[in-house]
Amino acid sequence: MAWRPRRWDVPGKDRLNVGCGRDVKTGPGWVNMDAFYDDPRVVKHDMVRTPWPFQANTFDVVYASHVLEHVPPVFRERKGTQRDVLFDVMEEIYRVLRPDGILHAAIPLGGTHAGLMNPQHYRQWRPDWFDYFDQRNWEAKGYHAANFQKSKFRFNRTGFRAKDFFRIGPNGHPLSVHLFARLPVLRPFLRPKDEMEVQLRAVKDARGA
């Protein structure tokens, strides 16, 4: 059993659920995109392959739940130099967002169990990484065209550690389920705050540039 972390509401009329996997959103205004999940409701496209099949300034929100840590450590030639493909992904998110649109992301905190548990977690994100995509940060200038300003940030408790506990009993329930039932005081320790949730605002002029 895994406990879902709390999440902020996702505002906006037109919303892109990037790297959706099985979490296909079906409400009004949702568009789902994933490279591997076969579903007629999903636009099949790899987020690392740019440009994405959407016009600029299309979405109010890009929702990326446990996606950005999966961007592979690949370098791509750009203007005669090699550049991290993460910049391409962030620039593409920025491109498809409308002015003041929101990137709503949930990412495991780097170095924690949630961050290290999956061999496809190629990037161990830290809280200050988000500032690297704000053009007010001198380190961002010249490296990429994205310009995001952080509007909300928090740490969430997750169930990643709990679901990896040994399973016991005829139904194979995780040991943590039995511990929670008998020793609820352990819950804060078995559900650590190892997920970062952030909303970044796309800073653009009225033309979307």
pLDDT for 162 = 46
Give the pLDDT of residue 124. Answer: 96
pLDDT tens for each residue of 148-194: 999 999 999 876 444 445 555 555 555 655 565 666 566 556 667 88
**Residue-level pLDDT at 11:** 80
From residue 95, how far is each of 15, 113, 131, 203 by CA, in Å?
Answer: 14, 33, 18, 11
- The CATH number covering residue 20 comes to 3.40.50.150
Number of domains composing the chain:
1
> Would you state the pLDDT for residue 107?
96
How far is Cα 207 from Cα 98, in angstroms, rounded to an integer?
9
Asked if the structure places residue 84 within a domain, the reply is yes
pLDDT at 2: 43
In a domain, 63, yes or no: yes
The C-alpha atoms of residue 29 and residue 187 are separated, in whole angstroms, by 37
Domain membership of residue 54 (yes or no) is yes
Whether 207 is covered by a domain: the verdict is no
Predicted confidence at residue 208, as pLDDT, reads 58
pLDDT at 61: 97
Q: Per the domain annotation, does 179 fall within a domain?
A: no
Does 41 score more than 60 pLDDT? yes
CA distance 179 to 85: 43
Domain span holding position 128: 15-162+193-202
Instruction: Note whether residue 2 is domain-resident.
Output: no
Does residue 73 lie in a domain region?
A: yes
| Residue matched to tokens 């929670």 | 180
**What are the residues whose beta carbons fall under 8 Å from the beta carbon of 173, sequence distance 6 or more?**
1, 167
21-59: b or e for each residue (b if 16 or more CB lie within 10 Å)? beeebeeeebbbbbeebeeeebbebebbeeebebeebbb
Rounded Cα–Cα distance for residues 74 and 31 (Å): 27
For the segment 52-65, the average pLDDT, to the nearest whole number, is 97
Note the pLDDT tens digit of each residue in 73-84. Answer: 999 988 788 989
CA dihedral over 23, 106, 126, 83, signed as positive or negative: positive
67-123 pLDDT per residue, tens: 999 999 999 988 788 989 999 999 999 999 999 999 999 999 998 878 888 899 999
Contact criterion met (CB below 8 Å) for 159 and 4: yes
Q: According to the model, what pLDDT value does residue 1 have?
A: 36
Q: Would residue 21 be called left, alpha or beta, if left means φ above 0 and alpha means ψ between -120 and 50 degrees?
A: left
Q: Which two structure tokens, joined as six digits, stand for 74?
A: 């690949």
Residue 133 has phi, psi (to 5 degrees) of: -105, 20
Q: What is the pLDDT of residue 9?
A: 87
Is 170 within a domain? no
Tens digits of residue pLDDT in 22-39: 999 999 999 999 999 999
